[in-house]
Structure 1
Amino acid sequence: MLLKNALFSQAGFGITANTILLLSHILPSLQDCRLKPSSLTICHLALVHIVMLLTMVFLVSPDLFESLHFQNDFKCKALYYVSRVMQGLSICTTCVLSTLQAITLSPSTSWLAQFKHKSVNFITHVYVFMWTLSLSSCASLTFYVVAFSNLNQTHFLKLDKYCSLSPMNSIVRYLFYALTTSRDVCFVGVMLISSMYLLNLLFKHQKRVQYLHSSSRSSTPSPEKRASQTIVLLVGFFVVMFWMDFIISSFPTHLSDDGPVMQTIRTLVSKIYAIVSPVVLLSSDRRVIGILQSVKQACSSLSH
């Protein structure tokens, strides 16, 4: 019960943080009447995480699950499918965000510089590709997702409290996991390469302008250092949680062996990135920091 309450609390915190992140990029873009590719990608990531966390809440809450007036099999198929699609989109969008940052900060002599102006035109095609890939790669497994009512179904694999995976041919199972794993590993690899390239650019740039940010003149970190820390935190945390989720998911348990504590831990590990990522992105956004400081000063003045 404590783990479940913690799960709901963290889901609520994650939905709130992603909503703030979404609004912090949409509202300024509405004033400028233009949405930059990086802002569009962050908005897409925040929206994906909101839907992912809402789906998780429905799957772990008896009242919310039963409030959907559909057959239990259909509810399991729909919620599990949406959850898997959002998880795939989270990986793809994080990869696109890291790549866009590398393209934006690449020097004019780099071969990536030619994509700076083309990224605005190609971003729509990238999103179409991401959605098509995520929707198609998760469709086949949905046919095997069913609701369970008999805990003696030992040949079924538990997905969460209400849904299970019916037995399937071993070749089909290994083929599905091979395809999804290959997709995820490829995106994670591109993400790491682009992030390391970006960190290398920031390190070289910081060395060139080190005299402008010496400790004798300013104690605050430079924008380059702050951007580097944000990228390292976001990508590093994503990779760690991705492999933890992959390891845990590689050992599915039968209905009779998987307790509620293990279910909650597996759910939390698979969704923790959606909760932490908006905090990392908001912490590096000067606009949000300025707004929070203004609110803090206003509250302190009212209290006095």
Structure 2
Amino acid sequence: MSDLMVRGLLYLSLTAVGLPGNVAVIAAFLLAYHQERRLLPADAIVLHLACANLLVVGVRCLLEVLASFGLANVFSDTGCKAVIYVYRTSRSLSIWLTFVLSAYQCLSIAPPGSRWASARDLLARHLALTFVTVWVINTVMSSPSVMFAQGSHNNSTAMQYSINVEFCFVHFPSIDARDANGAAQVTRDAVPMILMTLASLIILVFLYRHSQQVKGLRGGGGGAEQRAAKAVVTLVTVYVLFYGVDNGLWVYTLTVRQTMSSSLISDLRIFFSSLYAALSPMVIIASNRKVKNQLSCRAQEKATLEKATTLSTM
């Protein structure tokens, strides 16, 4: 089996899991909004996160499948600029929104009337501004991909400071430009990772203390806040695992001096970073009661409709 075939099958598996998973989460929240005319702040953050993850899977993984199997030629100069720009923006949005979710959940476990509870209310009131700020930061920081990305037909060993992403190359004018861009990307990812890890540790300490307090009491520890907190900690753990590998490979790419960065390393980076976008909706579906109820209701309605249709044709 050729390398391109293996590559195509790997990205196909991510697409097969990530596309329907994120679409299901988005549809469930939109249905909930249609019925209730409002979304809780945490639900709005998760909805936004699912949209970013859908972009990661749809724009990068799906197009990688089409290119690997020779089904479409989408990686011209313009195509490379668009794909890399949208992918990097949505990928970093996914990271920052996971941080916002963990921060909000951390503030949500604060005692009522405390300073932290007031901070949670402030974040909830200005959630739209938070989304806009995150979008602006990440769209601006992804701009080098528009300036320097080119199609693989421009492959040239004379271009020394390039990053090979299989079907595309990102050509930097100098080693300083390449390293500065790399440092900015790592910082953009490391800051929310450190903060969300800290928030998750606080949540874990709270959950541990809560479990000790209710130990031996029937029905203790099963509240909605505890379930939501555990779900957020799970999402952060998945993020740290996959994006930690991704950023480790990125640092390796920047520190190894060679004419072209290995396409294998770039493939591994994209695969690991896309794993979070593909698997996080499974965590959300399994842990979010609102999403689970919406999906189960739609499944029951579909089964009832199919049964009625079958009986009417007998």
TM-score bin, normalised by smaller chain? 0.7 to 0.9
Match of residue 204, structure 1, among 170, 190, 209: 209
Letter in 2 for 1:222: G
How far is 1:40 from its partner?
A: 0.9
Residue 227 and residue 38 in structure 1: after superposition, are their counterparts in 2 closer, same or farther (change >3 A)? closer
How far is 1:116 from its partner?
A: 3.3
Residue 3 and residue 213 in structure 1: after superposition, are their counterparts in 2 closer, same or farther (change >3 A)? farther
Alignment correspondent of 2:84: 80
CA distance in 1, matches of 2:15, 2:259: 25
Residue 15 and residue 127 in structure 1: after superposition, are their counterparts in 2 closer, same or farther (change >3 A)? same
2:282 paired with 1:279 = yes
* Secondary structure, aligned partner of 2:150: strand
CA RMSD of aligned residues (A): 3.1
The answer (yes or no) to whether the contact 1:206–1:225 under 8 Å persists in 2 is no
CA distance in 1, matches of 2:36, 2:231: 26
Residue 145 and residue 60 in structure 1: after superposition, are their counterparts in 2 closer, same or farther (change >3 A)? farther
How far is 1:9 from its partner?
A: 2.4
Alignment correspondent of 2:199: 194
How far is 1:91 from its partner?
A: 0.9
CA distance in 2, matches of 1:189, 1:48: 21
Alignment correspondent of 1:100: 104
Q: Deviations over 1:22-54 (max 9, x none)?
A: 122221122111122111111110001111111
Alignment correspondent of 1:161: 166
CA distance in 2, matches of 1:64, 1:80: 19
Residue 144 and residue 111 in structure 1: after superposition, are their counterparts in 2 closer, same or farther (change >3 A)? same
Once the two structures are superposed, the pairs formed by residues 149-298 of structure 1 within 5 Å of their partners are: 149=153, 153=157, 155=160, 157-213=162-218, 222-223=222-223, 226-252=227-253, 258=262, 264-290=267-293, 295=299
The normalised TM-score by structure 2 is 0.82
The normalised TM-score by structure 1 is 0.84
Alignment correspondent of 1:20: 24
How far is 1:237 from its partner?
A: 1.5
Unaligned runs of 5+ in 1: none
Letter in 1 for 2:203: L
CA distance in 2, matches of 1:5, 1:248: 22
How far is 1:251 from its partner?
A: 3.2
CA distance in 1, matches of 2:206, 2:195: 17
Letter in 1 for 2:191: C
2:7 paired with 1:6 = no
The answer (yes or no) to whether the contact 1:59–1:160 under 8 Å persists in 2 is no
* Secondary structure, aligned partner of 2:165: coil
Unaligned runs of 5+ in 2: 308-314
* Secondary structure, aligned partner of 2:13: helix
